[in-house]
């Protein structure tokens, strides 16, 4: 029905690969295995990590692989995607703290393995430039995990961010502050207005982009990302510009995809050796 498999895999990969999984746990396992496989080939890989609720099953699955000896992550390096401006690094909801709790400690890594922007710098612009430089000096991100906002943001690149943007300060939309208030005792007043985020151009420099989206609340954003035009109004649609971008979604987040059956067919017929 869809033509021969070699045609689907012309140039080695489809542009944005969509993998529909049964639930968040299966998505976490799939992505953690891709990270483990990367670490088996490149033990000091630079892993770009994201915050939010969605990636937690990935971190849990990867930590389980480390605990069972299925992969050695002791030389892995970790890079931050974004950070609140003005929250002290030791604040429990600064992304530096969150990533220490959710990624570094479970993987047995210490803070030397970690790079991130300084959200408390007096000169925010210089801090942003310094972070882009640090990423480049670290050899670039090998695999960048991404969540997606209900408004289509990646990192904290809110709608109408330049698709060529570099790490910089951004103002959060009201929607994102409402979405994130749950991390601040439900009190939107405590959610900072400003953030430092890797730009879309910065994110696109990672060698492999892996976006995980789960739940019906993400279905519109996922459909716009994958099947809509490349447009700054949906920042995640920039993934269409990347030669190796993978979007992993559960059934609920896939529910508005017109090509869902095609994506299922493509993945079901994919050679095992190719991975995601």
Positions marked catalytic = 82, 151, 153, 158
Distance between CA atoms of 188 and 177, rounded to whole angstroms? 6
- Sole binder of ligand PGA in the list 28, 32, 38, 54 (CB under 6 A): 54
Q: Which of 27, 147, 152, 192 binds ligand PGA (CB under 6 A)?
A: 147
SS3 for 4-60 is CHHHHCHHHCCCEEEEEECCHHHHHHHHHHHHHHHHHHCCCCEEEECCCCCCHHHHH
Tell me the closest approach of the beta carbon of residue 53 to ligand PGA, in angstroms: 4
- Based on the shown chain and the rule CB under 6 A, indicate whether residue 192 belongs to the binding site for ligand PGA: no
Residue least distant from ligand PGA (Cβ): 52
38 vs 98 by CB, closer to ligand PGA: 98
Angle (CA) 12 266 140, round 5°: 45
Q: Residue 35, interface with ligand PGA (CB under 6 A)?
A: no
Select from 52-60, 164-172, 239-247, 257-265 the region that touches ligand PGA (CB under 6 A): 52-60
Among 35-43, 48-56, 136-144, 162-170, which window interacts with ligand PGA (CB under 6 A)?
48-56
**Are 199 and 166 spatial neighbours (Cβ–Cβ below 8 Å)?**
yes
Rounded to the nearest 5°, which phi and psi values hold at 253? Answer: -70, -20
Minimum distance from residue 70 beta carbon to ligand PGA (Å): 25
Q: Are strands 194-197 and 168-171 parallel, antiparallel or unpaired?
A: antiparallel
Q: How many residues bind ligand PGA (CB under 6 A)?
A: 6
27 binds ligand PGA (CB under 6 A): no
Q: Which two tokens stand for residue 192?
A: 């900072």
- 272 is written with which tokens? 């095992």
Residues of the shown chain interacting with ligand PGA in the complex, contacts defined by CB under 6 A: 52-54, 147-149
């Amino acid at each position: 029905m869809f033509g021969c498999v070699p045609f689907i895999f012309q140039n080695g990969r489809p542009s944005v690969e969509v993998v529909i999984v049964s639930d968040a746990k299966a998505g976490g396992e799939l992505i953690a295995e891709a990270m483990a496989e990367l670490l088996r080939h490149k033990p000091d890989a630079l892993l770009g990590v994201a915050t939010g609720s969605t990636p937690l099953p990935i971190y849990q699955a990867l930590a389980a692989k480390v605990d069972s000896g299925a992969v050695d992550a002791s030389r892995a390096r970790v890079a931050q995607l974004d950070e609140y401006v003005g929250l002290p690094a030791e604040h429990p909801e600064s992304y530096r703290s969150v990533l220490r709790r959710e990624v570094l400690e479970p993987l047995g890594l210490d803070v030397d393995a970690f790079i991130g922007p300084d959200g408390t710098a007096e000169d925010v612009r210089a801090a942003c430039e310094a972070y882009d430089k640090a990423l480049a000096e670290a050899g670039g991100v090998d695999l960048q995990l991404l969540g997606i906002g209900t408004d289509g943001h990646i990192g904290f690149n809110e709608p109408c961010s330049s698709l060529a943007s570099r790490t910089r300060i951004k103002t959060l939309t009201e929607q994102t502050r409402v979405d994130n208030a749950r991390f601040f005792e439900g009190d939107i007043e405590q959610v900072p207005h400003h953030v430092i985020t890797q730009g879309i151009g910065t994110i696109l420099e990672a060698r492999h982009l892996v976006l995980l989206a789960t739940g019906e609340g993400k279905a519109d954003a996922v459909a716009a990302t994958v099947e809509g035009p490349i447009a700054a109004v949906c920042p995640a649609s920039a993934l269409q510009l990347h030669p190796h971008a993978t979007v992993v979604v559960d059934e609920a987040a896939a529910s508005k995809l017109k090509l869902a059956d095609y994506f299922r067919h493509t993945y079901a017929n994919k050679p095992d050796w190719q991975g995601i």
